[in-house]
Every structure is written in C-alpha cells, then in structure tokens.
Amino acid sequence: MTDDSAPAPSLPPDAVRRAVALALAEDAAWRDVTTGALVPLDQQGRAVIIAKAPGVLAGLPVAEAVFRTLDASLAFEAAAADGARLSPGQIVANIAGALNPILRGERVALNFLQRLSGVATATARLVEALEGLPTRLPDGQARLLDTRKTTPGLRALEKYAVRVGGGHSHRFNLADGILIKDNHLAALKARGQGIAEAIRVARLGSPHTLRVEIEVTSVDQALEALAAGAEVLLLDNMDLEDMRRVAGVARGRALTEASGGITLENVRAVAETGVDFISVGAITHSAPALDMSLDVVEE
C-alpha cells in the first residue's frame, strides 16, 4: 500500500524488542502451564498463520520476533510481506520447529499481527478514498496523517502500520512539534492572553526549526492566527465551507490540517476543500483488528 517511490516503512528494532518482551511477560509465556503439561519440549511440528478476512498485512516482523524470542532456532518463513493485500484463507507465514514455543507465542504474535494489520487496513481505505486529488504539497498527494491517539507502549508499531497502509506520520511525541491546542489557549486566557500572544511565546520558547501549529475552531480564529504568523492551522471540527474559506485564505501563508469527525464517507469531501493534511485519530484508536489464526499442521 505504500508509495513505490518512497522509502519502505521501517520498524525501530528497539521498539519491537520492548513491545515483544512486555507482551510475552504479560502473557506469562515462559510459564504456560497448559502447553508445558501437554507438549514435550522435543516435539517438532509446523504451524501456519492464516488470514481470515480481507485487509492489508502489517506487523509480520513483530510476529517473527515473538517466536524467535521464545526459541531462536524456530524457522519463520513469511508467505507475504507487510503492505500486501490479503484474502480470506491466505497463508501469511509458516513456522517450523519445536511446537512448545510456537504454542506459547501464538496469542501474542496474533495480537500484534491482528492489531497492526487492522490499523494498516483502516488507513488504506481512507488513502484510497483520496486517490486522484492533488494538493499544494510537493508530492502532489492528498496527505493522510495519524495522531498521538495510540495504544500506550505501541506508538512506534502503530505509526509504522499507518505508513504501511499509505498514511503519513504526524508528530511522534510532544517534543517533536509545537501544537497549540484549546486547553493551552484556555490556560493563556486565564492570564489575559490570546492567540497572538500564544504564537509569539511559543516561537520564542522553541527551536527555529519547528513550525508553530495552532488549533482553531472558527474562521475568525484562523484569521487571527494567520495575522499572528502561525505556520500551520489545525482546523478542528470545522464545516466544509469554513474549511474551504480558510484553506483559500491561508494559501501561500500557512499550511492547513483538517481534523475531527473524519470518516470514510466524508474524507474525500474534506480533501476537496483544499486543505494540505487530514489527521484521523480513528485509524489507530478505533481500527478493528484483522482476523487471523494460527493452526498446527497435522503431518
């Protein structure tokens, strides 16, 4: 699902190791009493991971890391690659070796695969709805962004899945960019200060390499922010006509980002207003898991 001209999304190895270690510890995979009682350590076999629903695959390297953490000698053979379109019944991977560690890692590996593939699938559907719509960005593509509305501890993995699905990353954490939101403005208002002062102080207190982005909920607020030198306007839950007006006024002066209430049904109409970015929290906080299973193969 990724752009062939862009570098392939990559997973930070440290983030994978941490996530896998925590998940295996949470599941007490090293102390699986059922598998320990029923499956001898020396029993060999093979299992397959199968897609049960259509979607976009993401997280296969994480699933492999689960099994290799439990037993480095296991053979993990991918039958598809992250970004591939899956059909029901399609084999995603083959795992061979000792069945004991395969069964101990089954649920954790599937949890990662299902979660990340669900994020990639939800992202891909929105990206496809934007196909053919040019914007003012250099790459000529309507750009869909994720947010920080991610599962605690899994942000790097979920943002990777967004990129696999064809989306782009917003700031990774609070240190990555200036984003003045409604509660920041409320805190300043309590001290008798407004939008212009918020932008001025934010710029003075941050590196010159960071853009100043501010959340606005009305055309008047947007115009005030533009006059104060905001470089990005986050249009929060604006109606289409107001978005179109702000995008037109901001052209050549600031970038615009639409956010709030974005769905598969309205995302194209939002893009057609002329905004530069569309950020969607639902692709990470509400993406349905993509159904998969692990089955031991009887030989």
- CA 279 to chain CA centroid, Å, is 11
Written as six digits, the tokens of 84 are 């591939």
Catalytic site includes residue 136: no
Residues 222, 264, 141, 180, CA torsion sign? positive
Catalytic site includes residue 104: no
d(CA 215, CA 223): 12
DSSP output for 198-231: HHHHHHHTS-TTS-EEEEESSHHHHHHHHHTT-S
Residues 122, 3, 177, 182, CA torsion sign? negative
Q: β-pairing, 232-236 with 212-216?
A: parallel
Catalytic site includes residue 236: yes
Q: Nearest to residue 23, comparing CAs of 114, 111, 102, 152?
A: 111
Which secondary-structure segment (H or E) carries 78? strand 75-78
> Which residue among 149, 200, 211, 245 is the active-site one?
149
Catalytic site includes residue 215: yes
> Which residue among 18, 52, 107, 268 is the active-site one?
107
- Long-range contacts of 9-17, Cβ-Cβ distance < 8 Å, separation of 24 or more: 9/82, 9/160, 9/163, 9/164, 10/160, 11/61, 11/62, 11/156, 11/157, 11/160, 12/156, 15/156, 15/157, 16/61, 16/62, 16/65, 16/157, 17/65
Catalytic site includes residue 31: no
d(CA 152, CA 176): 17
Q: Are 188 and 194 in contact (CB under 8 A)?
A: yes
> Which residue among 146, 231, 236, 276 is the active-site one?
236
> Which residue among 215, 231, 257, 276 is the active-site one?
215
d(CA 39, CA 45): 11
> Which residue among 17, 181, 189, 253 is the active-site one?
181
* Catalytic positions, written as ranges: 107, 149, 181, 215, 236
